[in-house]
Amino acid sequence: MRLRSALLAGACLAMCACGDGATEVSEDTIAPERFVEVYVDLRVAALRRTNGQIKPEDRDSILSHYSLSEDDLLTFAEIHGADAIFMRGVWDSVEVVYQRVRTAENEAEAAEQAAESGAAEEPN
């Protein structure tokens, strides 16, 4: 979780730098960095499934973890959806964080496999 938080912080800085500063974040919705974090978790969960669709109970668990609802995400999209520059920054951040999370997971998996194969090759 610390890695994801660090990745998210970097992406949010990038997102703020991408905008023209014209969009103010509404107090009536979740923060952009929160949207990015939740959306990435939902996307990762969906892509771990063979059919690419998240199970409703997994979706509910992720939303519950963040104390959010589907309506919170929809409200964010409704409030900010018309601002193409702002939303481009949000989706760019989603992609950056997602790619970094997947890269970190792949590297961890490769290290685990290397450790297992190294242990299997050790003489008794």
Residue whose entry in the numeric block shows the structure tokens 């939902």? 42
- How many Å apart are CA 49 and CA 65, to the nearest integer? 20
> How far does Cα 59 stand from its chain's mean position?
13
- How many Å apart are CA 56 and CA 74, to the nearest integer? 16
pLDDT of residue 75: 95
> Is the pLDDT score of 70 beyond 70?
yes
Please give the average per-residue pLDDT across 55-63, as a whole number. Answer: 96
Domain ranges in the chain are: 2-13+31-105
pLDDT of residue 27: 73
Q: Within 13 Å and on the Cβ side, how many CA atoms surround 77?
A: 8
Two tokens, residue 12: 């949010």
pLDDT in tens, 21-52: 445 556 789 999 999 999 999 999 998 899 99
Please give the average per-residue pLDDT across 99-114, as a whole number. Answer: 90
> Is the pLDDT score of 90 beyond 80?
yes
pLDDT in tens, 7-23: 444 444 444 444 444 45
Residue whose entry in the numeric block shows the structure tokens 């997947």? 102
- How many Å apart are CA 117 and CA 114, to the nearest integer? 5
- How many Å apart are CA 43 and CA 98, to the nearest integer? 8
Q: Does the pTM exceed 0.75?
A: no
